[in-house]
């Protein structure tokens, strides 16, 4: 193939998938072979997998983020701090909040948006665990409720009622942090712990649907001991200004609360849908090389992509684990495409396991097919978190941002 100009590779999003792709591409592709651009709306990357801690206030949000420029080769990669507004795949253009970019090869790794299933009031009144701004806002909101409670003559107990929608992995991990944070807040603001309610509403017949039942029981018992009330088999039907309306077996109930947190699932970034790619809930079923069907120059990875687990004929749940592995494969395949030489690699997820934290000191997980719980699982969870830092930013980043308080 004769090229008249250097191809432009553009990566959208500096999350797990995007950073993994860029840090591999900057090593693989020579400066004379292609231009490399990374676009992200912030100048920092945040660890999405730590946002439940920042949201509850058990970890400062600065600990959960680092500067993008600290992990990329700035002489090789052009970093553009801008918000992507839209993708014009036919003209191979990206519209940014300020300007435009052209591409020859595109990696879309823009993460997810909350899935609200069209439930009334959620967008207006519920908090989400979605990014640093949202985490900071939720942490401050909860603290404000505790700080305000004793200033009012007529006490509003709903200030101290926190509702978490969804007992999936995000909901359970957030509950674990919250259950540890509440006693601290009670001490700090002289609030009687008995007045506080943490209520988790889960529509499915069990918490953590699909996870090992023994581990689910361990997690639920652990959280109940710390004061969490579970309403299982109960669906949130509406969110209103001062609480939620739920239904179990067609019986409706209103729960008064000044803090409703929606943690009941995600869909791919809406930009992907708006760009006109065929999708399921914002996720594009990519081919085995991670390309969008009909668009061999567009690679879609992370939460915007959909990969089928052939063993059960269902999509893999979107995780950081998969996003990072896809970032590596996408980088290899783009190198093949740019050089027009070699064989592209088929993407095969290598699922090592799943570990859910239950606060800083406890966790449950399935690792290499074995069940783990308690401090051992918690230790593993921190090692997984540290490994993600290592893979993107090397040992220096682990020293700066890693988790080392093991027991
Ligand atoms: P992200 O890592 O979310 O990155 C997307 C990036 O795109 C962000 O930097 C964002 O700022 C940027 N962006 C978004 N929109 C725009 C725009 N319009 N313009 C410019 N930039 C934009 N998975 C696991 O494997 N293990 C876990 O333990 C785990 N724990 C989790 C805990 C929580 C609380 C949550 C919410 C999720 C957890 N996950 C976990 C899931 C995991 O975080 C996601 O699957 C993973 O982050 C997806 O990676 P990504 O690269 O697709 O998106
Ligand atoms: P999820 O889809 O895994 O769980 C959402 C939960 O909300 C489900 O249990 C569902 O039944 C429930 N739900 C849906 N609608 C409801 C309603 N109207 N009322 C009450 N409950 C309702 O979503 P998530 O927990 O946000 O996780 C998103 C992705 O991130 C998943 O792929 C997950 O595996 C991953 N994740 C992984 C970890 C980890 O590995 N430790 C942690 C967090 C998230």
Residue 47 lies in a domain: no
User: Which tens digit of pLDDT belongs to each residue from 11-28?
Assistant: 999 999 999 999 999 999
User: Which tens digit of pLDDT belongs to each residue from 276-296?
Assistant: 999 999 999 999 999 999 999
Same domain for 184 and 140: yes
Same domain for 166 and 249: yes
Residue 359 lies in a domain: no
Q: Specify whether 173 is catalytic.
A: yes
Phi, psi dihedrals of residue 236, rounded to the nearest 5°: -75, 125
Of 302, 317, 342, the last residue of a domain is: 342
| Mean pLDDT within 385-406 | 94
Same domain for 36 and 131: no
Residue 215 lies in a domain: yes
Look at residues 294, 266, 241, 292 and name the one whose alpha carbon lies nearest to residue 112. Answer: 266
Per-residue confidence (pLDDT) for residue 126, from 0 to 100? 98
Say if residues 115 and 122 touch (Cβ distance below 8 Å): no
| Mean pLDDT within 91-110 | 98
Residue 208 lies in a domain: yes
CA 368 to chain centre: 22
Burial of 287-325, coded b for 16+ CB within 10 Å and e otherwise, reads bebbbbeebebbbbbbbbbbbeeeeeeeeebbbbbbbbb
Per-residue confidence (pLDDT) for residue 2, from 0 to 100? 62
What does the mean pLDDT of the chain come to? 97
Q: How many domains does the chain have?
A: 2
Whether 1 has a pLDDT exceeding 70, the answer reads no
Residue 405 lies in a domain: no
CB of 318 within 6 A of ligand 1: the answer is: yes
C-alpha 72 – ligand 2 centre gap (Å): 32
Same domain for 126 and 256: yes
- CATH classification at residue 219: 3.50.50.60
Give the range of the structural domain holding residue 235, as residue numbers without chain letter: 122-264
Same domain for 293 and 232: no
Q: Measured between alpha carbons, how far is 84 from 93 in angstroms, rounded to an integer?
A: 11
| Mean pLDDT within 241-251 | 96
Residue 376 lies in a domain: no
Angle at CA 44, nearest 5°, toward 43 and 50? 160
Same domain for 295 and 200: no
Whether 200 has a pLDDT exceeding 90, the answer reads yes
Of 206, 234, 264, the last residue of a domain is: 264
| Mean pLDDT within 212-233 | 98
Q: Given 47, 53, 173, 177, which residue is catalytic?
A: 173
Per-residue confidence (pLDDT) for residue 407, from 0 to 100? 66
Same domain for 307 and 235: no
Per-residue confidence (pLDDT) for residue 5, from 0 to 100? 84
Same domain for 254 and 130: yes
Return the best residue to mutate from 11, 48, 389 for the ligand 1 pocket (most ligand atoms within 8 A of CB).
48
User: Which tens digit of pLDDT belongs to each residue from 304-332?
Assistant: 999 999 999 999 999 999 999 999 999 99
| Mean pLDDT within 163-185 | 98
Say if residues 345 and 333 touch (Cβ distance below 8 Å): yes
Q: Taking each helix axis as running N to C, give the angle between helix 169-189 and helix 132-149, from 0 to 180 degrees, rounded to the nearest 10.
A: 40
* Ligand 2 atom closest to residue 201's alpha carbon, by position in its atom list: 20
Same domain for 250 and 135: yes
């Amino acid at each position: 193939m004769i090229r008249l100009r250097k191809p432009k590779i553009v990566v959208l999003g500096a999350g797990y998938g995007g950073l993994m792709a860029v840090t591999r591409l900057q090593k693989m592709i020579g400066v004379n072979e292609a231009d490399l651009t990374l676009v992200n709306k912030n100048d920092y990357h945040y660890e999405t997998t730590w946002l439940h801690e920042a949201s509850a206030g058990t970890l400062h949000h600065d600990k959960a983020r680092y500067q993008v420029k600290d992990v990329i080769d700035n002489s090789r990669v052009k970093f553009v701090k801008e918000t992507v507004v839209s993708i014009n795949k036919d003209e191979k253009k990206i519209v940014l909040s300020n300007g435009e970019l052209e591409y020859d090869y595109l990696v879309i790794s823009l993460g997810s948006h909350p899935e609200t299933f069209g439930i009334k009031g959620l967008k207006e009144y519920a908090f989400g665990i979605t990014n640093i701004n949202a985490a900071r806002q939720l942490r401050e909101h909860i603290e404000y409720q505790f700080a305000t409670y004793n200033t009012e003559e007529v006490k509003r107990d709903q200030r101290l009622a926190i509702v978490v929608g969804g007992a999936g992995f995000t909901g359970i991990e957030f509950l674990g942090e919250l259950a540890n944070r509440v006693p601290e807040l009670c001490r700090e603001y002289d609030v009687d712990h008995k007045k506080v309610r943490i209520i988790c509403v889960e529509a499915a017949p069990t918490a953590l649907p699909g996870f090992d039942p023994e581990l689910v029981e361990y997690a639920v018992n652990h959280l109940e001991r710390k004061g969490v009330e579970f309403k299982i088999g109960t669906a949130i039907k509406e969110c209103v200004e001062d609480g939620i309306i739920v239904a179990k077996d067609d019986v409706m109930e209103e729960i008064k609360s000044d803090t409703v947190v929606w943690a009941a699932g995600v869909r791919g970034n809406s930009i992907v849908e708006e760009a006109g790619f065929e999708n399921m809930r914002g996720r594009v079923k990519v081919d085995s090389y991670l390309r969008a069907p009909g668009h061999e120059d567009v690679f879609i990875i992370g939460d915007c992509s959909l990969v089928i687990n052939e063993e059960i004929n269902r999509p893999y749940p979107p995780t950081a684990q998969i996003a990072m592995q896809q970032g590596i494969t996408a980088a290899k395949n783009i190198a093949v495409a740019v050089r027009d030489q070699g064989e592209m690699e088929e993407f095969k997820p290598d699922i090592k396991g799943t570990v859910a934290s239950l606060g800083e000191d406890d966790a449950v997980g399935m690792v290499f097919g074995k069940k783990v719980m308690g401090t051992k699982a918690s230790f593993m969870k921190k090692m997984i978190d540290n490994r993600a830092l290592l893979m993107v930013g090397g040992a220096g980043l682990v020293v700066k941002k890693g988790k080392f308080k093991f027991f």
